[in-house]
A and B are shown apart, each in its own frame.
Chain A
Amino acid sequence: MGLLGPVMIIVWKDVLLEFRSRDLLISVVVFGLLVVVVFNFTLNNTPGRSEELAPGILWAAFAFAAVLAMNRAFVRDQEQGGLEGLLISPVSRDAIFLGKALTSLIFMLLVEAVLLPVYAVMLDFSALSWTLMLTIFLGTLGFAVVGTLFSAMAVQTRSREIMLSVLFFPVLLPVIIAAVEASTRAIGGETFIGLGRWLPLIGVFDALFLVICPWVFAFVVEE
């Protein structure tokens, strides 16, 4: 078996679990809606300022939602002892990591696909821009890769919910900065060139951590 087979089996397992319980996606979507309501009032959003504030609110909501979703990534495996089962199965650690990261990416993209049109209406910006979609994809990929690594550690620690946020936000800061800047331009109608170096910055971050994270993940899950 190559790498792709086991990855897909792990993804399918988690998608099936989620499809049957539906406890994660719905709660994260509701949370995402709450965030936009809270930010609307804390930032005193008025129609004229909407375009200026929208990218910031968008990414604050996505980042918090990502932490919330990622907190659950290993909880089910941890509680039922499923992770041990995965680890003793003849599957490489890379496949487990990539499977978990891909699951988180798919869940987050689903949540964002629901939230983005709602945000576009509530914050009055045009979401139909492929540069914005690309920014969201790359940013979410960064969240998923680093978040999966930290989630595997945080799930083992005391006060795991806080631990993941404490680890996640400082390391993901470059992605958040770059995603906000790229989204501001994408919403303003800029083309790919107009986005400047922000998309390549996220791309470099993603590529770098796609190499490092599977490697250190093997140390995190070993017994």
Chain B
Amino acid sequence: MANTQNLEFSGSLGRFPSVKTSLAIITGVMMLVDLYLIFMVAPTDSVLGHVQRVFYFHVPIAIMSFLAFFAVFIFSLMYLGKRTPKWDAIAHASGEVGVVFVTLALLTGIIWARPVWNTWWTWEPRLTTTMILWLIYVAYLMVRSYAPTQSKGAIYAAVVGIVGFIDVPIVYYSVVWWRSIHPSPVVGPFAQSDSLDGTMYLILLYSFITFIFFFVYMVTERMELRSTEEALGRIRFTLRRKGR
């Protein structure tokens, strides 16, 4: 056990709770309150019924995934400029959590679309762009892990993070224009957003704040995991050298 002091524990052993732990507690409490609000307090939609409640998850998750990819873009630019490993760590964690969020946004969207639009999927601009986002950021994660070295992977990923983000508005407009000549059977998507009453709006806002905390917590957790991975890599390297 003599070597344990080399392992950099950033936990909260006998000190104040770390930022991560406090975030976990806050997020957990907020999430429970959010669930209570969504399923107990929020009024049932008169037209759509209970399925409308997926909306309180779907909208914050979708917006957070876009913000996550914006963060990837900003921190990728900063990483290419300054080569500070921390910027890459933030971009990496945001990208990974962003992919999870965008997957959830697609899944909750599909749950919503089936009863309301009577179809699982339609090539509507927002849906198509979200699908392309998913593909671009899966490629972002793939290029990072398939690169020859970790530092190359960081640079390649930053390049994809920049090029991909700039591409997203072009994808969106090309699909909007494409749709204006190939109308799909669905009429008036997201038309329900005008009909939100006061309580619904407040709960949506609360849910959004909850998911911001959830996102930040996930990103810090992922960053800590990465620094643990790196510490483990160093230990393994040292042990291998000593064993020789």
Contacts and interface: CB of A to CB of B under 8 A. Distances in A.
Task: List the 8 closest A-B pairs by CB distance, nearest first.
Answer: A174-B174, A157-B146, A170-B135, A174-B170, A177-B174, A216-B159, A158-B146, A166-B139
Interface stretch (B43-51, B102-110, B150-158): B150-158
B152 A156 contact: yes
Interface string A145-158: 01001000110111
Interface string A131-168: 00000000000000010010001101111000100110
Given A174-B167, A213-B163, 11 more contacts: A154-B143, A157-B143, A157-B147, A167-B139, A173-B132, A201-B173, A204-B170, A212-B162, A212-B166, A216-B80, A216-B159
B142 A170 contact: no
Q: Which range contains the number of A residues in contact with the other chain? A: 20 to 34
Contacts of A208: 166, 170
A171 B162 CA distance: 11
Contacts of B147: 153, 156-157
Given A205-B170, A208-B166, A219 B143 contact: no
Nearest to B148: A156
A219 B158 CA distance: 10
DSSP majority for the A interface?
helix
B146 A167 contact: no
B152 A173 contact: no
Interface of A: 146, 149, 153-154, 156-159, 163, 166-167, 169-171, 173-174, 177-178, 181, 197-198, 201, 204-205, 208-209, 212-213, 216, 219-220, 222
A153 B143 CA distance: 8
B87 to A, nearest CB: 14
Nearest to A156: B148
A49 to B, nearest CB: 16
B175 A170 contact: no
A181 B178 contact: yes
A108 B37 CA distance: 58
A181 B181 contact: yes
Residue of A181, A213, A219 with most chain B CB atoms under a 10 A cut-off: A219
Contacts of A167: 139, 143, 160
Contacts of B166: 208, 212
Contact of A212 (B158, B163, B171, B178): B163
Nearest to B136: A170
B174 A220 contact: no
Contact of B142 (A166, A173, A212): A166
6 contacts: A166-B139, A171-B167, A212-B162, A216-B159, A220-B156, A220-B159
B177 interface: yes
B158 to A, nearest CB: 7
A215 to B, nearest CB: 9
Nearest to A204: B170
B164 interface: yes
Residue of A146, A174, A201, A219 with most chain B CB atoms under a 10 A cut-off: A174
A153 B160 CA distance: 10
Nearest to B128: A173
Contacts of A171: 136, 163-164, 167
B174 A178 contact: yes
